[in-house]
Structure 1
Amino acid sequence: MTSDRVEVASLFTRLSRLLDDKRWDDAGTIYTEDATVQSPRGGELRGLDALTAFLKQSDVEGVNTQHVDTNVVVHVDGDEATAEANSLVFFYREGEAPHRESGLRLSWTAARTPAGWRITTSRIVPAWIREREVIGAGA
């Protein structure tokens, strides 16, 4: 059903907004309670509490992100779905150009829950990372 594909695809945007806005306690609006997330920074995180704790502890004061997701592909089979996308992530300080950029490949499974579609498993794989020299750093 087209509406299911749209709802599953919207999880990418909703997750990006959650991360960019640093609304860690809203992770339950994206993930199931027993979700598993694999990422290069967090390793394998099991459960919503572990994921939320990781997001909070990895927040760097003064550093913001802007996520841009593209090339979203969704396959729905009843109450389960698989989804993939590319994500560009820009790390910046307010009013400054990005000092780090990365290209990620995202893939996940999702399930229809009483509260709507939620991610059950997620895998984040970096395709590339670029660090930029910060002028005036350490001066």
Structure 2
Amino acid sequence: MIARLGRCLDQKRFEEARTIFTEDASVATAIGAVRGIDAIVNKARHVRPEGLHSELHHQPPHRGGR
């Protein structure tokens, strides 16, 4: 889920956040908090400066072996 969110933000595919969050989700960031999927999508769309990439880090699951 974290990797999907990072891709949505980085690629400015904000509407895809609707497939990640529930209708009543809330998000808190350093610049404020919002509640509800419409508010989340709107905030993401309006606060992503050109050239900014997410700082979300994702480790793929370990698949055995050493």
Per the shorter chain, which TM-score range? 0.7 to 0.9
Percent of residue pairs bearing the same amino acid type: 36
The structure in which a higher percent of residues are strand is 1
Q: Does 1:52 find its partner at 2:60?
A: no
- Does the CA contact (< 8 Å) of 1:36 and 1:46 recur in 2? yes
The aligned residue for residue 65 of structure 1 is 53
The aligned residue for residue 16 of structure 2 is 26
Structure (1 or 2) with the larger CA radius of gyration? 1
How large is the RMSD of aligned CA atoms in angstroms? 2.0
State how many pairs are aligned.
60
- Does the CA contact (< 8 Å) of 2:2 and 2:58 recur in 1? no
Deviation at 1:67, TM superposition (A): 3.9
Deviation at 1:70, TM superposition (A): 4.2
- Report 1 or 2 for greater relative contact order, CA contacts < 8 Å, sequence distance ≥ 6: 2
Change (3 A) 1:70 1:27: closer
Deviation at 1:59, TM superposition (A): 2.4
Listed as ranges, the gaps of 5+ residues in structure 1 are: 1-10, 72-139
Listed as ranges, the gaps of 5+ residues in structure 2 are: 60-66
Q: Does 1:37 find its partner at 2:27?
A: yes
Distance in 2 (alpha carbons) for counterparts of 1:38 and 1:31 = 13
- Does the CA contact (< 8 Å) of 2:26 and 2:34 recur in 1? yes
Question: Deviation above 2 Å: which 4+ runs of structure 1?
Answer: none
Deviation at 1:65, TM superposition (A): 1.1
TM superposition score normalised by structure 2: 0.75
